[in-house]
Structure 1
């Protein structure tokens, strides 16, 4: 069985995650709590079925990389600029103050100043994957506090570079801290410039060349290659794997393929991100926590309260209001995935011992475990802050994004821009109706963008792509693609996303009409049948039949195909 060990571990981890997530959902809790508890149960520190943590952590690393990649794709450079000022200012205050708070806490429990410094570094780093999962589960992924928290999280990831550079100094292996820092920061700066400058030029060209093959498999391979390749180069350059994946996503976000990339990567992201939370649970030692419960709770309280106060205060200083400040601070009040990395490096360098390492892991895991609860009580914390003496409620502008102008919401979404779609587009443009196009041909989407049409490359059956195209705000969706499976998927997903939208679709054969009606289409048009009726109209008119008689015959023939109970049909 050894040759299948990776597969066995994957099956064990996913099975446990499925069970744990289902139980958590059943009791109204976020699924990530179920994943962590599942990890505890299959970890090496509890009896029963055990998975190899090294294999699970390797797969979990892919989850972190894909998550950060999709974040980059969703954000783009232009959107990131909205949170740049507040993220840098807040991170610049929060990181050093949190390091000091952790350092003081370490000294208070009798650790050496070097070990306490490692604890402070672990305290300073929050979990990007946790905050995004929490925000998404509450439907707040695009909220000001989620965007702001993400910006601060990125600043924290960047700060990890100098923090790691200082570790050799704490062991006495380096005599010149400034030289060590300068070397690490220099390498990081060069890597960032190369990724951004070279990537923005190269990645869109690679994706365009691959997209022209119109092969979904090749396109997916190209996406994974770009995401993991950039992440690996970032790791080799001294930056983190996650930061490299995020930069790769930012690069892709500037291309016309961003929405399709997102729809392809999301399933991979969700699968491997699940394993990250399972791996967190596997690291936790329940008996160690029980034996050191007072120490764990004391450090946990210091971490959470300290981060809430420091991050919230820094955000207020940066101009955010109390609601945004409190919610953002709650999202960032845990230790992150890179805290585990930092603790592991500290253990390997001999700065902390095994017991101190176990304590850091216990506090980090517990902080992640209570994160959903903490975010849930953040509205109560906002109300409490209003009642504090001397605190004036501040209605400053929200930080982290600009509201969408309702007037820009697209009234029509066209899925497919072949001959039929082009006619519809011309009519809409001629009558000044705004519209968006989803098209699988990269040449067509590029040409449309060049003339100012909002066009997205990809499969219209993807929720991510339909949302990006504005289906939730649109009043009409017209599906003109010739593939029945693609049409049915687009109709079903659009109906689920916007029950009020009017959906008009094209059927290739008569048998497809009922299938598309059942999928949720309001009106289905079968082109060949309509062409036949048009010929009937002209033919009977030439033979001398009156217009009223012709209209009755055509209407009867049309009902024979389209009529289905109370469903409406129309004459195009």
Structure 2
């Protein structure tokens, strides 16, 4: 028992360290798990030699991955992108499979192996590409839509491949296609049966479960449905992952989809990490060293071949060459379903160890190169095919000059996203002049066709701002959500001595001082202003005179929203933001007779070591006192601390124990 516990502890520690390091260098965490598996497996340090127990649990990682995929499956999205999904996506998978199958047969593998290899290498990484698109804010750009459409079809194809692989086990070459046909028929039958159950049985079942108001019962019901569907397909000789995918599809049409997705994520991420570790364990270091030249050659061939194929198909489908080459580079890698297919095929004896020992590392190398390929895609597309068609390379500044020459006392809107467009609508209502600039050429094109006074350009460049009429403008509004972009625009304007008022929109007030130092006249943090708007409505509806409401709101703004900082945290509250910065919170410390601070003044406690986090002292009689060095604390007083979790912990220790 101790040996098993120690091995699990080593696996977890290695996974945490490796994934942290890999994320620091923007390398997909999938590769961290594979490396952990490789080094703790039997071919390296041999910490874990018995793979069967690991593989049993790891299979459920694929099950929950397919369940999540089913939850995210949207028929409406698929129909909206149907030309890309079934046209581009279908052709890409079909042609990739044919070419790879032919190459595999030419090098002498079996028919079954060739089919698995073709299916596995035709797929790209949905997890890596969709995350990169989201982080780069490119999901709604043309190459983003093309990538998502192709990935949607690849996900459907992955499910079909997972149905087919079990059919290869125990089948001779002559009966292989008959076995595949029978498996597909069983798959379609079970698909229809489970979808019918999902339509008529699951909604009332989950309505009853939801009425219990118990998270535990809800999670157990989700696990029961997904695992029962997986067990049913497994019973009929199909992949468990297929049943999980169908279960996800069934639940995706209910009102509980997002809650289910949140509840299932911890199970999925943990078990999926274990699956990739088990794949890494199956690799042989000696084989990697022996076959390194084949792995490099296959990786280069896979990346170049897929990129060129997707580029050609996208151009044939009448998309721009820029979008075509960008999409090709985004989808040039292998994917996580390739690992799943090879693992399933290796377990059933369909694929030999020598084949998987070369092609699994090939997928690993291609995924490792994906962030780099994505980062160079804009440069490659621009170098090969120049600027986008409707953004003339040398003419857009003259267009800006012409558009702004009749404007004076106007507003310059830097950024024309949701916020910029909202501002423009109210300016139009008042017939106030404005001119907008945005770096997204497609948004510029769409809004320009609709009659908006918007132009393409980089607002951080002084020549562009001058062309927009900076000297004659009354106000400049920066609505980009990226703080670095806003600061760059501010520096550009203030360094040249322009005194135009500049209004900056931010998501919160974390960069308030930086922006003010950089030259912002006013800053509007969206979350803070939303809170103030709610407060003003509450006070008004409670009968507070309008002038008092106005005074409260203006006072909060003048004090830089200090009254809105820090909250009493709950069980699920985060202590750091998305960037890893500590969030401010409130914490109450009740003084008893035995506390170190009782009978002492605040000045005697040395709270400056903790950053002086005392917000207010509430006395037992209901009165409040502002923090003062000479204030004597008494038993029954409550000290309200305000700061980061580290500051609060240090201050509480000083108050309680000295």
Q: TM-score, normalised by structure 1?
A: 0.63
The answer to whether the 8 A contact 1:334-1:367 is kept is yes
> 2:163·2:239 contact (CA, 8 Å) conserved in 1?
no
Figure out how many residues of one structure are paired with residues of the other and give that number. Answer: 439
1:410, 1:254 → 2: CA distance? 33
Pick one of 4, 17, 35 that aligns with 2:33: 35
Match of residue 363 from structure 2: 364
Measured after TM superposition, the shift of residue 127 of structure 1 is: 4.1
Structure 2 regions of 5+ residues with no counterpart?
391-416, 424-480, 482-506, 511-523, 565-658
Bigger fraction of residues in helix:
1
Cα displacement (A) at 1:37: 2.8
More moved, 293-302 vs 23-32: 23-32
Q: What residue is the counterpart of 2:61 in the other structure? A: 63
* Matches of 1:271 and 1:240, distance apart in 2: 20
Other structure's SS at 1:284 match: coil
CA distance in 1, matches of 2:270, 2:23: 17
Aligned to 1:252, what secondary structure does the other structure show?
helix
More contact order relative to length (CA 8 Å, sep ≥ 6): 1
- Choose 193-202 or 336-345, whichever is displaced more: 336-345
Whether contact under 8 Å (1:105, 1:302) holds in the other structure is no
User: How far 1:211 moved relative to its partner?
Assistant: 0.8
Asked if 2 retains the 8 angstrom alpha-carbon contact of 1:131 and 1:331, the reply is yes
Aligned to 1:220: 219
**Contact persistence 1:44–1:51 (CA under 8 A):** yes
Contact 1:330 1:375 (8 Å CA) reproduced: yes
Query: Could you tell me which residue of structure 2 aligns to residue 93 of structure 1?
Result: 91
SS in 2 for 1:47: coil
SS of the residue 1:269 aligns to: helix
Alpha-carbon distance, 1:503 to partner: 6.6
1:189 CA drift (Å):
1.3
Q: Higher mean Cα deviation, 255-264 or 272-281? A: 272-281
Which 10-residue stretch deviates more, 288-297 or 22-31?
A: 22-31
Q: What corresponds to 2:82 in structure 1?
A: 84
Shift of 1:223: 2.2
Match in the other structure for 2:526 = 500
Instruction: Name 2:278's counterpart in structure 1.
Output: 279
Deviation at 1:16, TM superposition (A): 1.4
Deviations 1:272-297 (A, max 9, x none): 33334433433333331221122112
Within a 5 Å distance, the mapping from 1:349-498 to structure 2 comes to 352-386=351-385
Deviation at 1:117, TM superposition (A): 4.8
Residues 117 and 194 of structure 1: is their aligned pair in 2 closer, same or farther, counting only changes over 3 Å?
closer
Indicate if the aligned counterparts of 1:101 and 1:306 stay in contact, CA closer than 8 A.
Answer: no
Q: d(CA) in 2 for partners of 1:367 and 1:352?
A: 21
Query: 1:68 offset after TM fit, Å?
Result: 3.5
Larger Rg: 2
* Whole-angstrom distance in 2 between the partners of 1:138 and 1:56: 36
Residue deviations 1:113-148, cap 9 Å, x none?
Answer: 665454334323444444445545555567424521
**Pairwise CA distance, 1:242:** 3.6
Q: Which digits, 9 at most, give the CA deviation of each residue in 1:252-308, with x for residues without a partner?
A: 232222232233333333333333443343333333122112211222222222222
Gaps of 5+ in 1: 396-404, 412-471, 473-492, 506-520, 538-549
Corresponding residue for residue 151 of structure 1: 152
- Tell me if the contact between 2:116 and 2:165 (Cα under 8 Å) persists in the aligned partners: no
2:12 to 5, 14, 20: 14
Equivalence for 2:611: none
Aligned-partner Cα distance in 1 for 2:328–2:51: 31
Deviation of residue 500 (structure 1)? Answer: 0.9
Call closer, same or farther: CA 1:356–1:25 in 2, change over 3 Å.
Answer: closer
Q: Tell me the SS of whatever aligns to 1:205.
A: helix
Q: State the Cα deviation string for residues 146-173 of structure 1 (Å, max 9, x = none).
A: 52143122232244157537736xx872
> Over aligned residue pairs, what C-alpha RMSD do you find?
4.6
